[in-house]
Chains A and B, each alone.
Chain A
């Protein structure tokens, strides 16, 4: 079955430090890949997505992610974290099948120290 793994349940970084959140997927073909952010009391917000083409994709709020087929990974990065980035981050895939059924990972909770 298709699945998404986010190995890190909780990450803490200092403000201004770089960030990388890991995501691995299990699927036979190239899926459509997404990163969402969920802040307390807020709905899920799309950060970025990968469908095809350039494997390095840029998103909102200064985030980027790189698709690596050989590693079945789609890691999220940010060069300099801001305190407002503290939130929960979810990686998700859509298995191409004619509609947009998202399969989410368990999430990584990011804490930012001043």
Chain B
């Protein structure tokens, strides 16, 4: 079956603009995670959804970042008033359940560049 997909694959925007990044998880996966990977670093946790609700948003850097998953499948990461420091690859992952032993399947990421 299809894996996790993310759109767009690349996004270039100007400082101060608003962007939305989309994640389509594997069908039937209830848990969804967003990570951010800066150049030369490992992915850093941003937010975790179990179903429609954000169960842990402790990784969101500030209130410019927001994510939703209204129907418990597709998720959108929203960034307001983008800054150059937001430039990174944003990764989405899903797992069948939220259990620690359930494998997370990652999408290819969205590369965000803020000019």
| A44 neighbours in B (Cβ, 8 Å) | 43, 91, 93, 106
| A83 neighbours in B (Cβ, 8 Å) | none
- B41 interfacial contact with A, CB 8 Å: yes
Report the interface size class on chain A: 20 to 34
- A112 interfacial contact with B, CB 8 Å: no
Q: Please determine whether A100 and B108 come into contact, CB atoms closer than 8 angstroms.
A: no
Q: How far is the CA of A44 from the CA of B91 in the complex (A)?
A: 9
Count of chain B residues with a beta carbon within 8 Å of a chain A beta carbon: 30
Q: Please determine whether B104 and A102 come into contact, CB atoms closer than 8 angstroms.
A: yes
Closest-CB distance, B23 to chain A (whole angstroms): 12
Which of B3, B44, B102, B109 interacts with A100 by CB under 8 Å?
B102
Q: In this complex, what residue of A is CB-closest to B43?
A: A104
Q: Please determine whether B31 and A100 come into contact, CB atoms closer than 8 angstroms.
A: yes
Closest-CB distance, A1 to chain B (whole angstroms): 12
Q: Please determine whether A106 and B42 come into contact, CB atoms closer than 8 angstroms.
A: yes
- A67 interfacial contact with B, CB 8 Å: no
Closest-CB distance, A24 to chain B (whole angstroms): 14
Those of B1-35 within 8 Å (CB) of chain A: 3-4, 31, 33, 35
- B71 interfacial contact with A, CB 8 Å: no
Q: How far is the CA of A98 from the CA of B42 in the complex (A)?
A: 23
Those of A40-84 within 8 Å (CB) of chain B: 41-46, 49, 51
Q: How far is the CA of A45 from the CA of B31 in the complex (A)?
A: 17
Which of B's residues lie within 8 Å of A, judged by CB? 3-4, 31, 33, 35, 40-45, 48, 50, 55-56, 91, 93, 95, 98-109
- 30 example contacts (A-B, Cβ-Cβ < 8 A) are as follows A4-B42, A36-B106, A43-B106, A43-B108, A44-B43, A44-B91, A44-B93, A44-B106, A45-B106, A46-B104, A51-B101, A92-B42, A94-B100, A96-B100, A98-B100, A99-B50, A99-B55, A99-B98, A100-B33, A100-B99, A100-B100, A101-B45, A102-B33, A102-B104, A104-B35, A104-B43, A105-B42, A106-B42, A107-B40, A107-B41
